[in-house]
Amino acid sequence: MFRGISRIHFVGIGGIGMSGIAELLINLRFTVSGSDVADSDTVARLRSLGARINIGHSAENLGDAQVVVYSSAVSLDNPECAAAKARCLPVIPRAE
């Protein structure tokens, strides 16, 4: 699934499930970005590992992402998910 993919964006990156996946991908040398509604120790840790994370949701947060993964706490009408779909990017629920 990730052949040729290097830049992954997580919507709701601060949650326990999403942050774990993001950290694993950072360790595998993927470029990880994301957003969440609030800053936290988890977000700070991911930033210290190299993730670019925005607080708040906005289409501009996608940057040059190639894939978007979203948390179960996020709806598909989220501005980042909607922008990714408009750009024909894969938009994948965390559970997949």
Predicted pLDDT at 2: 63
Mean pLDDT calculated for residue range 4-30: 95
Region 7-93: CATH code = 3.40.50.720
pLDDT reading at 90 higher than 90: yes
CB atoms within 10 A of CB 73: 15
HEC profile of 33-73: EEEECCCCHHHHHHHHCCCEEEECCCHHHHCCCCEEEECCC
Give the domain ranges of the chain. 7-93
pLDDT reading at 95 higher than 90: no
Predicted pLDDT at 73: 87
Mean pLDDT calculated for residue range 36-53: 97
- In whole angstroms, give the CA distance from residue 16 to residue 1: 23
Each residue's pLDDT tens digit, 56-89: 999 999 999 999 999 988 888 999 999 999 999 9
pLDDT reading at 9 higher than 90: yes
